[in-house]
Structure 1
Amino acid sequence: MARNEQLVRQHKLLQILEANRFGRTLDELREAVVTELGLGTLHERSVRRDLEALQAAGIDIEMQESQRGRIWKFGPRGRAAVKVAASATELIALSLSRDLLYPLAGTPFWQGIESFWNKLQEELPPAVRKHYQEYRQTLYVRGMPAKSYQKQQGILGTLHRAILEHRIVDIEYQPPGKDVQKRTIEPYAVVFYNNSLYILAAASEIPEGQERIRHLKLDRFLKAVALDQWFQLPPDFNLEEHLGQGTGIFSGGKPRDFKIRITARGARWVAEDPWHPEQTIDQQADGSILLTVKAAHELEIIPRVLSLGTEAELLAPEVCRKMIAGVLRQAANQYGPAS
C-alpha cells in the first residue's frame, strides 16, 4: 500500500462532495472513489474513516438522513469556505499568472486554475471588475508558445495519480530522432520548466546506489500504464535541492563548475538575466567578468554561451570547450559560399 493512499482518497472525496451539492451515500462515495482512482477494492469502513478524518481536520462535512438513506455532504461552512474576495490589483496579478501558465491548458492543473478564476470573477463587485478590465488593456503577456497538453491529458492524469500513490508506471517514450522506447519508471514529481512539463522519475532498471533520476519531457510520452506495484521515495531525496543543482532541466551526473569569460558588453546581459541563483562573478579590471556556474549537463550551458556569440568564451571544463569548438567549425563550413 502506498504511504499516502489515505491522503489521495481524502482529496478525491472532497472533489466528489464538491461536485454533488445534494450529497452521496457511503456506498456511492465508495464506488466513485474506486472508479475515479482505479482501485481494485475499497471497504466502506475505509471511506467512513476518511470522512471522519476530514471532519476532525475542521472541514464542514455533515451526515444527514434522506429518502435514499444516510448521505454525506458539505455543510454551510464547507460551501462558504470557497468564497474569496479580491481587490483589482490582486485580480490583475492573478490574471497575469494565469497567462503565464497557459501552456498547462488541457491538464488537470489548468482545469483547477480556470475553475478558481471563474468562481472569483462571479464574486467580484461590478466596480472592481470594471477597474480590472480597463487596466488589463494596458498590460500584456507575450512570448508564450502556442502549446497545449490536451492530447496528453490522459497520460498526465495517470502519471499524476501514480505520483500521489507512489505507483510504478510502464511507459512508451520517444526521444527526438530515436525509436520508441519501453521503460519502467518510478515517478516523483511533475516539473513545469520553460513552458513545458517534465516528469521527474527514477529509472527502475538502474540499481540503487547509482544515478537513477531522469527528467522526461511529457511531449515525448506515447503511453503510460500504472502498475499494481509500489515504490518508496529515497528518504534523503529533496526535490528543491535536486532541481537547484543545475541551471536547466537536463538530468545528468553530479553538478560541475563551468567557467565562462564574458566581455564587458556581455556582462550587462548576464546582470539582467542571471544564469543561476548561486552563480559567482569575478569582476575584471577591463569590465569583463569571469562567471562560474554549476550545471549537471553541458547542454544547460553550451547553448547559452553560443547565444552570446563573441561576447562569451567557455574556459572550463576543457571537454566542453572542445565541443563548442567543434560546433563552431561545423557552422563555419555550413555557412560557406552557397552552392
Structure 2
Amino acid sequence: MARNEQLIRQHKLIQLLEFSRFGRTLEELRADLVADLGLTKLHERTVRRDVEALQAAGFDIQSDTVERGKVFKLGQNTAGVHEVGISASEMIALSIGRELLYPLLGTQYWRGIESFWNKVQETVPDGVFDHYARYRKTLHVFGTPSKTYEHHEGMLKTINRAILEHRIVEVEYESVGKPVTTRRIEPYGLAVYQSSIYVVAAAHEIKSSTERLRNWKLDRFRHATALDEYFKPDDSIDLSKHLGKSIGIFSGDDATIVKIRLGQRAAAWVREDPWHPEQKLTPTDDGGSIMTIPASHPREVLPKVLSLGYDAEVLEPESFREAVAEAVTKMAANYNSVV
C-alpha cells in the first residue's frame, strides 16, 4: 500500500480516537475508516499495525478491556501534541475563514473545520476569547449563499479516494437542460468557486491533452463509483495554472484575450473589484479604459458585462461580442413585448 494512503489512514485514526470518549475497538475503528475514507476493504490487522505505529511515534494511545472487548483511546499526554497557542487577531482571521467556507457544511472537510474551531475555543484563555468576541462583532461576513453539500458527502469520499489512488470514476452527470449521461472521468483535484464545489478531472474518452481536462460541477453528479481501473496521471497538469487562467470556472489551456471598452464609471468599478489578476486597463481620452482580460468561454464574460449595462462593450474577439449582442437582443425583446 502507498505510504500516503497509510498516513491518511493514521491521521483519520487519530481523529476517530479524539471524538471517542469511551474508546473504540479495532473492529469499530476499521468500520469507521472504511466508511469515512470510502475504502472497499480494510483488514483489522492493518488497523492494529497503524495503532502500533502511532504509539511508536509518541501518541499516547491506551488500551482497556471493557464489556464489548478491547478498546483504544487517547490518553492525557496526547493533548500536548495538538496544543494551540493563538492570539485574538488570529482567532478573528480564523473565524472569517470559517464563515467563508460555509459551502463545505455537511462534508468531512467541515467536520475538520468545526473540530479545530471548537478545540481553539476550548484552549484559549478567557481574556483572549473575550477580546476576540468583542472585536468580532464589528466585522460581518456575508454574500455566501446558504448552500451545502451534505447530501454529496458519500460522493466526495469516493472522489477523494479516486484522486489519491488515481482511479477512474464512473459518474452519472446531469448538465442543465440535458438528460443524465454516464461518463468516465480521471479526477485530479477539487476546487471551490463561488460557493460551489467542482471536480477537476479529465474526460476519459477524450485523447487530446488540451481538451480533456474539465471542471465538473458536483451539484450535477447523481452517482459516482470508483472503478477498479487506474489511470496514469499527466505530470504536465498544473491545477493552479489550470484554474487561474481565466475569469471563472471555465478555466483551461485555451484562454482567449478579450478586449472590453469601459466607460469612466465602469472602469472605476472594475479597478475596485478586479475580474482577474492578469487584467489590464489602458486609459482612454474620454476618461474610460480599454480592458484586456483572459477568458475561456463567453459565459464567463457575459454576466459581468451585462452587470455594467451600457457602460461596457465587448470589442473582440467576435465570438464573445456576438454572444453578448445576442443576449442583449433577447433581453430587449422581452422588455419591448406587451405584457
The TM-score normalised by the length of structure 1 is 0.87
Q: What displacement does 1:334 show?
A: 1.1
CA distance in 2, matches of 1:84, 1:300: 42
Change beyond 3 A, Cα 1:331–1:22: closer
Residue of structure 1 in register with 2:58 after alignment: 60
**Residue 329 of structure 1 aligns to which amino acid in structure 2?**
T
CA distance in 2, matches of 1:193, 1:125: 36
The change in CA–CA distance for 1:65 and 1:257 in structure 2 (over 3 A counts) is closer
SS in 2 for 1:183: strand
Shift, 1:208, TM fit: 5.2
Q: 1:332 to 1:70 in 2, by over 3 A?
A: closer
Q: Distance in 2 between matches of 1:15 and 1:9?
A: 10
Is 2:279 the partner of 1:279? yes
Structure 2 Cα separation of the partners of residues 257 and 315 of structure 1: 11
String of CA shifts for 1:168-222, please: whole Å, max 9, x gaps: 2111111111111111112211111111111111111212535111211111111
In structure 1, C-alpha distance between the alignment counterparts of 2:33 and 2:142, rounded to whole Å = 41
Shift of 1:28: 6.9
Aligned to 2:184, the other structure's residue is in SS state strand
Aligned to 1:293: 293
Conserved 8 A contact 2:243-2:251? no
Which residue of structure 1 aligns with residue 139 of structure 2? 139
**Against the structure 1 CA distance between its residues 3 and 133, is the aligned structure 2 distance closer, same or farther, given a 3 Å change threshold?**
closer
Identify if the C-alpha distance between structure 1 residues 52 and 317 changes in structure 2 by more than 3 Å, giving closer, same or farther: farther
CA deviation after TM superposition for structure 1 residue 287, in Å? 2.0
Shift of 1:14: 3.2
> 2:235 is matched with which residue?
235
Structure 1 letter corresponding to 2:59: I
Return the alpha-carbon distance in structure 2 between the equivalents of residues 51 and 24 of structure 1.
12
- TM-aligned CA deviation for residue 273 of structure 1: 0.9
Q: Is the 8 A contact 1:64 1:70 kept in 2?
A: no
> CA–CA distance in 1 between the matches of 2:52 and 2:208?
39
The two structures, once aligned, show a CA RMSD in angstroms of: 2.9
Change (3 A) 1:242 1:263: same
Identity of aligned residues (%): 51
Q: Distance in 2 between matches of 1:125 and 1:206?
A: 56
User: How many angstroms does 1:74 deviate by?
Assistant: 5.2
The equivalent residue for 1:162 is 162
> 1:113-153, CA deviations, whole angstroms, 9 ceiling, x for partnerless residues?
11111111111222222222222222211222121222222
Change (3 A) 1:128 1:40: closer
Task: Report if the CA contact (8 A) 1:63-1:72 is conserved.
Answer: yes
Secondary structure class of the residue paired with 2:148: coil
Look up the equivalent residue of 2:148 and give its one-letter code. Answer: S
Q: Give the superposition deviation at 1:298.
A: 1.7
CA contact (8 A) 1:251 1:296 kept: yes
- For the Cα contact (< 8 Å) 1:263–1:287, is it kept in 2? yes
Give the conservation status (yes or no) of the 8 Å contact 1:100–1:141.
Answer: yes
- Correspondence for 2:321: 321
The offset of 1:48, in angstroms, is 6.6
SS in structure 1 of the partner of residue 158 of structure 2: helix
Equivalent AA in structure 2 for residue 287 of structure 1 = G
Structure-1 separation of matches of 2:265 and 2:38: 58
CA–CA separation in structure 1 for the residues paired with 2:261 and 2:25: 68
Alignment gaps of 5+ in structure 2: none
Of residues 73-82 and 127-136 in structure 1, the stretch that sits farther from structure 2 once superposed is: 73-82
The number of equivalent residue pairs is 337
- Equivalents in 2 of 1:85, 1:66: separation in Å? 32
Contact kept, 8 Å, 2:210 with 2:253, in 1: the verdict is no
Measured at CA, do residues 26 and 333 of structure 1 come closer, stay the same or move farther in structure 2, by a change above 3 Å? Answer: closer
1:11 aligns with 11
Instruction: Tell me the equivalent position of 2:130.
Output: 130
1:87-98 correspondence to structure 2 within 5 Å: 87-98=87-98
Q: Which residue of 2 aligns with 1:334?
A: 334
Structure 2 counterpart of 1:265? 265
Q: Does the C-alpha gap of structure 1 residues 210 and 257 become closer, same or farther in structure 2, counting only changes over 3 Å?
A: closer
Q: What is the alpha-carbon distance in structure 1 between the residues aligned to residue 72 and residue 58 of structure 2? A: 11
Partner SS, residue 115 of structure 2? helix
Contact 2:60–2:76 at 8 Å: present in 1 too? no
Decide whether aligned partners of structure 1 residues 77 and 257 sit closer, same or farther in structure 2, where only a CA change above 3 A counts: farther
Give SS of 1:152's match.
Answer: helix
Q: Secondary structure at the match of 1:233?
A: coil
Distance 1:139 1:38 in 2: 39
